[in-house]
């Protein structure tokens, strides 16, 4: 899952990004509103963590521009502004959640996961597909009730497929959501990861849709 973090405090931004990456998120970082707005308009994102007090362009203005452009990814506002009027303005601009500094990074991760899950149309944290289950709130997988051990890339791919179970996920969409921007991606790397996942969860759950991508489904082909 790919997250955009727009925060001008470099030490705070580094700490948040490090923690999100430890939780298997791919993280893009911007330090000002103009760069953040551009990344939001050009990258495939699952969620955004957005500070309000940004240089060059205020976070609320960035958010309004995204929503005016029809961009619907969920946005968590992260700010030191805790007045009720600031919260109202943030939600009116199109925010999905609001977290006031100081905060625990663990709470931020939980809120981001909840936003991504709800945006994918899942009311419950637990997502099931046959014998496979995914707790989208804590980020754990089980197969036949037993913990499933995955590498970071395997986790990202399977999480994307689980959140969109029953629907085709385009190959390019998967690539952009699971690899860091500076990663050296081999042309058949996704096929390798899919093959590894099929060995771990069984070959029938992940179906290849020729010319498009992959679909996670417990239904027979």
Q: What is the CATH number of domain 126-216?
A: 1.10.10.10
Question: At 85, which helix (H) or strand (E)?
Answer: helix 84-93
pLDDT value at position 221?
53
Side-by-side strand order, sheet with 168-170: 168-170, 213-216, 206-209
What pLDDT, in 10s, does the model give residues 141-158? 999 999 999 999 999 999
Smallest Cα–Cα separation from 180: which of 32, 28, 72?
A: 28
What pLDDT, in 10s, does the model give residues 203-212? 999 999 998 9
Where in the chain are all domains bearing CATH 3.40.50.2300?
Answer: 2-119
Q: How far apart are CA 56 and CA 78, in angstroms?
A: 17
Predicted TM-score of the model (pTM): 0.89
| CB contact set of 52 (below 8 Å; sequence gap of 6+) | 58, 59, 60, 77, 78, 79, 81, 86, 90
Contact in structure between 158 and 198 (CB atoms under 8 Å): no
What pLDDT, in 10s, does the model give residues 98-120? 999 889 999 999 999 999 999 99
What pLDDT, in 10s, does the model give residues 52-67? 989 999 999 999 999 9
Where in the chain are all domains bearing CATH 1.10.10.10?
Answer: 126-216
- The CATH superfamily label for domain 2-119 reads Response regulator (3.40.50.2300)
């Amino acid at each position: 899952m790919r997250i955009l973090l727009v925060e001008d405090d470099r030490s705070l931004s580094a700490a948040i990004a490090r923690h999100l990456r430890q939780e298997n998120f791919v993280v893009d970082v911007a330090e000002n509103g103009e760069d953040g707005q551009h990344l939001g308009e050009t990258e495939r994102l699952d969620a955004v963590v957005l500070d309000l007090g940004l240089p060059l362009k205020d976070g609320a203005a960035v958010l309004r521009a995204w929503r005016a452009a029809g961009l619907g990814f969920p946005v968590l506002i992260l700010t030191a502004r805790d007045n009720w009027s600031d919260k109202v303005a943030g939600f009116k601009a199109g925010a999905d959640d609001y977290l006031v500094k100081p905060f625990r990074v663990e709470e931020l991760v939980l809120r981001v996961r909840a936003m991504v899950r709800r945006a994918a149309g899942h009311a419950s944290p637990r997502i099931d597909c046959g014998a496979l289950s995914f707790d989208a709130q804590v980020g754990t997988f089980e197969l036949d009730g037993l913990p499933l051990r995955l590498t970071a890339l395997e986790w990202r791919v399977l999480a994307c497929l689980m959140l969109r179970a029953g629907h085709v996920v385009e190959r390019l969409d998967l690539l952009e959501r699971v690899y860091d921007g500076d990663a050296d991606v081999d042309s058949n790397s996704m096929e390798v990861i899919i093959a590894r996942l099929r060995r771990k969860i069984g070959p029938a759950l992940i179906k290849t849709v020729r010319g498009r991508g992959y679909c996670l489904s417990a239904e027979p082909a």
